[in-house]
Structure 1
Amino acid sequence: MERPSPQALALATLRAYYDALNRHDPVAAVALLDEDVVHEVNQGPREVGRAAFLEFLQRMEACYSEHLSDFRFLCAQDGSHAAAEYTVVGEYIANDIGMPPAQGQRYRMPGAAFFTLRDGRIRRVSDHYNLQEWFSQVAQA
């Protein structure tokens, strides 16, 4: 059986990662990460390691109900770097640290992430979205 190209392996890993997030299965998402994964939280701290990433995802699951769609992926031919752009459709369901009170506010906005990968494992995730736009949508609800 022919081994997939590094680019195909990286793209399959990203699809599996986002499939896990959309299934609301943080454990499956974290299983695709390198042990020492670096997570650059949107407008937040840099976190290192699977345990920190799992804690982040569990907090997200508790506070937000989100579905990601309309994916567009870019990937280096050697599979070492990739980017994803998508649409976030969500509901703010429970108060999150440092955020306004949750009252079931709904939002829809673009999001993106940049990745470093090696051997089918995600080594770095850098999440990006417009926090001011999120605040604006949550305030209007």
Structure 2
Amino acid sequence: MTALETVQQYYEAFNAKNWKGMLALLHPEVRHEANQGDVRIGLEKFTEFLQKMDEAYEETLTNMVFFSEPQDKRVAVEFVVNGIYKKAEDGLPEAHGQSYVLPAGAFLEVTDGKISRVTTYYNLPLWIELVSKP
């Protein structure tokens, strides 16, 4: 399987809420660089993050465009996050089922057939504005 196919499967699993399928595509020492906060290393930390996200957000990704490079190691993806904010996190606005549509992107690296890095970017101030509207 190519790096591009691996990353496409990862996002298909995300949209299907198939967390086990997502985790199966990750390298044991995956490096997760989220838009905000500390870098997480390893499947255990990524699994904890995923559980927390599942509690707080209901998200589906659309308008996905994938870009790969000739060495078949890195993939970039641009997408739109269509979400519902279910449970507030520390330092973020109160959650009461607000919906949001937010452009985002990610950079992923594949090592030995597994995703070894996930770096995600989105506009946090815009997201806060979207979920803060009455």
Classify the TM-score, shorter chain: over 0.9
Structure-1 residue corresponding to 2:43: 50
The structure having more radius of gyration, on CA atoms, is 1
Equivalent residue in structure 1 for 2:27, among 22, 34, 43? 34
Alignment of 1:120-135 (within 5 A): 120-135=113-128
Runs of 4+ in 1 over 4 A off after TM superposition: none
> Is 1:24 the counterpart of 2:17 in the alignment?
yes
Aligned to 2:77, the other structure's residue is in SS state strand
Q: Please say if 1:90 is aligned against 2:83.
A: yes
Q: TM-score, normalised by structure 1?
A: 0.91
SS of the aligned residue for 2:127 comes to helix
Match of 2:93 in 1: 100
Q: 1:59 aligns with which of 52, 55, 72?
A: 52
User: Matches of 2:103 and 2:64 in 1, distance apart?
Assistant: 10
Structure 1 vs Structure 2: percent identity of aligned residues? 38
Q: What is the aligned length?
A: 134
Any conservation in 2 of the 1:27–1:54 contact (CA below 8 Å)?
no
Gaps of 5+ in 2: none
Rounded Cα–Cα distance in structure 2 between residues aligned with 1:86 and 1:103: 24
Q: TM-score, structure 2 length as denominator?
A: 0.95
Q: Partner letter of residue 73 of structure 1?
A: F
Matched letter for residue 107 of structure 2 = F
**C-alpha contact 1:63 1:92 (8 A) present in aligned 2:** yes
Runs of 5+ in structure 1 lacking a partner? none
Q: Is the 8 A contact 1:85 1:111 kept in 2?
A: yes
Aligned to 1:113: 106
